C-alpha cells in the first residue's frame, strides 16, 4: 500500500487560521518566559533566564543573560552560578546543602516480595497514597549536608524519617537555608505521615545543629503553614505563616523573631487587607519588601522590622497601577529589581525606586512580538452584588473593539477557590488571547479572593455554591446591559474551582449562557471527597465528610452546592476538559460530567489529557487545548468575523 508523505507545515495549517496582527496560540507559545535569577556578587549586573517554548520539539529552550542593573544591552552567559552568591554553600565554604529522595517505606509488591521483582503492585495501609500527580512509592525528599570535595561523606539530616523537605508538591531549595553562622540548617517540613499528613497543613521550621545532630522545632505551637525562611544581614529569621491547621487559604502573614529569646512578632497581622505572597529582606536588614494582592492587582509593599521594641510595624504600599508585581529579584541601592506582568504582557524585569514607586523597564524580551499585535483594553467595573456589596470586575475588550458592534462575551470563573484574580499573564487562561479572538471577557473578583479584606476572602468557605454563584451572575448581568454585548452569545469558562463553577452554573443559569467550558472541575462532591488527596481542603471548605449527617455545613455542601444534583436542569452545550494525572480533582469528575451530558442528549465534547495533571504543561498538549477551546466557542457562540464566514 502506497503511503502519502504530507509536509509537516500542511498538517499544522489549521493552527494558523488567526490573523497575525492579533495574539494567537502560536504567538503565545513563542514568547520568552523571563525569570530573574539574582544580582551578581559585585552588584553590577542582573542575572536572568529566558525559557522559550519550542512547541514543534515539545520542549523549552533556556538561555541565561546578564544586563547592567541600570539597564542596557543584555549579554548571554553560559555559567551564571559563578556570578551569583551560592545560597547552598555554607558561610565558611566547607559544606553544600542539597536534597534527594530516600527510600524509607515499603510500598511496592517487590518491597515485600523481592523474588517477585517484576510485579507491578502498590500496597497501602494508610492515606496520602498519592499526591498532586504522583503515587506514593515509599521515597521521601531529604536534606543532605555534603562536605565540599567529599561527596562520599554526605549526611542525611533526617535519616529514617518519612517526611519531605522540600515540601511537596511545589517546594524547592528555598525550603532549606543555612543559619548565618554556618553551624545549623533551617529546613521546612510537615512532620506527619499518612492520614495525619493528608488532613493537616501544619508545616514547621526546623533547626538542625551540625555539631550535635540535634533538631529543634522553631515554630512549635504555630499550627498552620510556616514557609520560606529567610535571614536578614543582621541574622534575624523571618518567614510566612498561617495560623490555622487545615485551612490552606488562611491569611498569610510575615513573622520574624524579635531577638529576645523565642519571641516572635507578626509584622502584618494588624493589616486585615494584607495576604503576603512572597518577600525579601532589605539589604540593610531594617525592612522587608513583599508583594500582596490589592484591589485586583499584586503590588509591592514594605514593612519596617520593629525587632525587640515591639513597636507597631508600619506597612507602606510602594507601587500602584494596573499591573502585577510577581517577584523580587534583588536590591541595588534604593532600587528593587522586580518581575512585572499585566493582562497584555508576559513577565519582564523592572527596577522600582523604593522612595516613590516609579518604575523603569529593564528587559525587553517580547517587545517585537507585542509591537506587531493589537493590545486589549482592560477596564475596572464596580458591580453591586445581591447582598449589597461592591465587587470589582475586570472587563477585557478585543484589540479592535468597536462599541457600535455587538460581541460575544465570556464569564471567566477563577480557580483556587481562594486565589487572587489580578493582572496576571497566563499561558493557558490568557485574557489577551481570549479577547483577541473577538470575545469580551468578564472576570469578577468574586467572594473568596484575597486583596479585598479577610472577610471577603473567607466568605466562600462552606458556601461554594452560594453567594459566589450570585456574584458571578451579578457580574455577567451588569456587563450584559451594555449595548455592545450580545446577550444571545454569552459563555462561561473556568478551571478547578472555575470548572466547578461552570458545572454549577450550568444547572442554575436560567438560560443566560449558550456555552460552557469546564476544566478539571468538581462535578460530584461525594466522589471528590472519596478520591482527592489533600483532605484538609474538603474538610475545611466543605465542612467535613458526606457521611456526617449531623453536620449542617457539610450536608449543605454535598446537597445544595453539589453540581451533580442539578444535571436534570442542564440544557446548554458543554465542553469538559480533564487531566488523567490530576489527583487533586480526579479523573472521574470530568468523565461523570461528560457522560451525563451525552446521555441527556446535550451537545458536548470531552478533551482528555492522559499525561497532564491539574495543569497543562506540555507545549503541544497546550496548543491542542487552546485550539479545541476556541473551536468549541466558534461552534457554540461564534464571534462576528466567524459568523460572516459561515460558522
Catalytic residue numbers, as ranges: 496, 582, 614
DSSP, collapsed to helix, strand or coil, labels residue 363 as coil
| Torsion 34-291-39-94 (CA) sign | negative
What is the pairing mode between strands 287-294 and 345-353? Answer: unpaired
Angstrom distance (rounded) from CA 43 to CA 34: 20
Angstrom distance (rounded) from CA 629 to CA 488: 19
Angstrom distance (rounded) from CA 423 to CA 401: 20
What is the pairing mode between strands 287-294 and 297-304? Answer: antiparallel
Question: Under 8 Å CB-to-CB from 209, ≥6 apart: which residues?
Answer: 183, 184, 215, 216
Angstrom distance (rounded) from CA 164 to CA 89: 21
Angstrom distance (rounded) from CA 63 to CA 48: 9
Phi, psi dihedral angles at 431 (to 5 degrees): -65, -35
State the angle between helix axes of 552-559 and 535-542 in degrees (0 to 180), rounded to the nearest 10: 100
Strands, E assignment, 311-399: 315-317, 324-332, 335-342, 345-353, 359-361, 378-384, 390-396
CA contacts within 13 A on the Cβ side of 32: 20
Angstrom distance (rounded) from CA 188 to CA 230: 11
- C-alpha cell of 373? 499585535
Question: Under 8 Å CB-to-CB from 352, ≥6 apart: which residues?
Answer: 300, 318, 319, 325, 335, 336, 337, 338, 358, 359
DSSP state of 462: T
Amino acid at each position: 500500500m502506497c503511503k502519502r508523505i504530507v509536509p509537516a507545515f500542511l498538517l499544522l495549517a489549521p493552527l494558523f487560521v488567526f490573523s497575525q496582527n492579533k495574539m494567537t496560540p502560536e504567538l503565545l507559545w513563542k514568547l520568552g518566559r523571563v525569570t530573574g535569577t539574582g544580582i551578581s556578587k559585585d552588584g553590577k549586573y542582573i542575572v536572568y533566564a529566558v525559557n522559550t517554548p519550542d512547541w514543534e520539539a515539545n520542549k523549552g529552550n533556556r538561555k541565561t543573560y546578564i544586563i547592567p542593573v541600570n539597564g542596557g544591552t543584555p549579554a548571554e552567559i553560559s555559567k551564571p552560578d559563578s556570578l551569583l552568591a551560592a545560597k547552598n554553600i555554607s558561610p565558611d565554604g566547607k559544606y553544600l546543602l542539597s536534597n534527594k529522595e530516600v527510600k524509607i517505606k515499603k510500598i511496592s509488591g517487590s518491597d515485600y516480595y523481592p523474588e517477585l521483582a517484576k510485579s507491578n503492585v502498590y500496597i497501602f495501609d494508610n492515606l496520602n497514597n498519592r499526591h498532586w500527580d504522583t503515587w506514593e512509592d515509599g521515597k521521601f525528599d531529604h536534606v543532605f549536608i555534603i562536605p565540599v570535595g567529599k561527596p562520599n561523606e554526605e549526611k542525611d539530616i533526617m535519616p529514617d524519617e518519612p517526611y519531605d523537605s522540600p515540601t511537596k508538591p511545589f517546594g524547592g531549595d528555598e525550603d532549606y537555608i543555612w543559619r548565618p553562622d554556618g553551624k545549623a540548617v533551617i529546613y521546612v517540613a510537615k512532620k506527619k505521615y499518612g492520614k495525619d499528613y493528608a488532613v493537616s497543613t501544619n508545616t514547621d521550621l526546623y533547626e538542625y545543629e551540625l555539631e550535635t545532630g540535634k533538631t529543634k522545632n522553631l515554630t512549635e505551637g504555630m499550627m498552620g503553614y510556616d514557609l520560606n525562611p529567610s535571614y536578614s544581614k543582621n541574622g534575624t529569621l523571618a518567614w510566612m505563616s498561617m495560623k490555622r491547621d487545615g485551612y490552606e487559604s488562611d491569611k498569610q502573614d510575615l513573622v520574624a523573631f524579635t531577638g529576645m529569646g523565642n519571641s516572635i512578632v507578626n509584622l502584618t497581622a494588624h493589616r486585615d487587607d494584607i495576604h503576603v505572597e512572597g518577600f525579601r529582606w532589605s539589604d540593610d536588614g531594617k525592612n522587608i519588601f513583599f508583594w500582596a494582592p490589592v484591589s485586583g492587582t499584586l503590588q509591592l509593599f514594605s514593612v519596617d522590622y520593629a525587632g525587640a521594641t515591639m513597636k507597631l510595624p508600619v506597612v507602606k504600599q510602594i507601587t500602584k497601577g494596573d499591573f502585577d508585581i510577581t517577584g523580587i529579584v534583588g536590591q541595588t541601592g534604593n532600587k528593587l529589581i522586580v518581575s512585572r506582568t499585566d493582562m497584555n504582557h508576559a513577565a519582564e524585569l523592572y527596577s522600582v525606586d523604593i522612595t516613590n514607586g516609579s518604575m523603569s523597564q529593564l528587559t525587553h524580551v517580547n517587545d517585537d512580538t507585542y509591537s506587531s499585535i493589537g493590545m486589549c483594553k482592560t477596564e475596572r467595573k464596580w458591580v453591586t452584588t445581591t447582598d449589597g456589596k461592591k465587587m470589582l470586575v475586570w472587563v477585557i475588550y478585543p484589540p479592535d473593539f468597536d462599541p457600535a458592534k455587538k460581541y460575544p462575551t465570556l464569564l471567566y470563573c477563577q480557580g483556587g477557590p481562594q486565589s487572587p484574580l489580578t493582572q496576571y499573564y497566563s499561558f493557558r487562561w490568557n485574557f489577551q488571547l481570549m479577547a483577541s479572538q473577538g470575545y469580551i471577557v468578564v472576570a469578577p473578583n468574586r467572594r473568596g479572593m484575597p486583596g479585598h479584606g479577610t472577610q471577603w476572602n473567607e466568605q466562600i468557605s462552606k458556601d461554594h455554591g452560594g453567594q459566589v454563584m450570585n456574584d458571578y451572575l451579578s457580574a455577567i448581568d451588569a456587563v450584559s446591559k451594555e449595548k455592545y454585548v450580545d446577550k444571545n452569545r454569552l459563555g462561561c469558562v473556568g478551571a478547578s474551582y472555575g470548572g466547578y463553577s461552570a458545572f454549577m452554573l450550568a444547572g442554575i443559569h436560567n438560560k443566560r449562557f449558550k456555552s460552557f467550558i469546564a476544566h478539571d472541575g468538581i462535578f460530584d462532591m461525594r466522589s471528590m471527597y472519596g478520591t482527592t488527596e489533600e483532605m484538609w481542603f474538603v474538610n475545611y471548605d466543605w465542612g467535613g465528610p458526606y457521611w456526617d449527617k449531623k453536620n449542617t455545613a457539610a450536608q449543605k455542601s454535598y446537597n445544595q452546592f453539589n453540581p451533580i444534583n442539578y444535571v436534570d436542569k442542564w440544557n446548554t452545550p458543554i465542553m469538559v476538559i480533564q487531566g488523567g494525572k490530576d489527583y487533586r480533582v480526579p479523573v472521574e469528575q470530568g468523565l461523570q460530567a461528560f457522560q451525563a451530558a451525552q446521555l441527556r442528549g446535550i451537545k458536548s465534547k470531552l478533551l482528555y489529557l492522559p499525561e497532564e495533571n491539574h495543569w497543562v504543561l506540555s507545549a503541544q498538549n497546550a496548543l491542542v487545548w487552546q485550539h479545541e477551546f476556541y473551536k468549541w466557542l466558534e461552534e457554540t457562540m461564534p464571534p462576528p468575523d466567524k459568523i460572516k464566514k459561515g460558522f
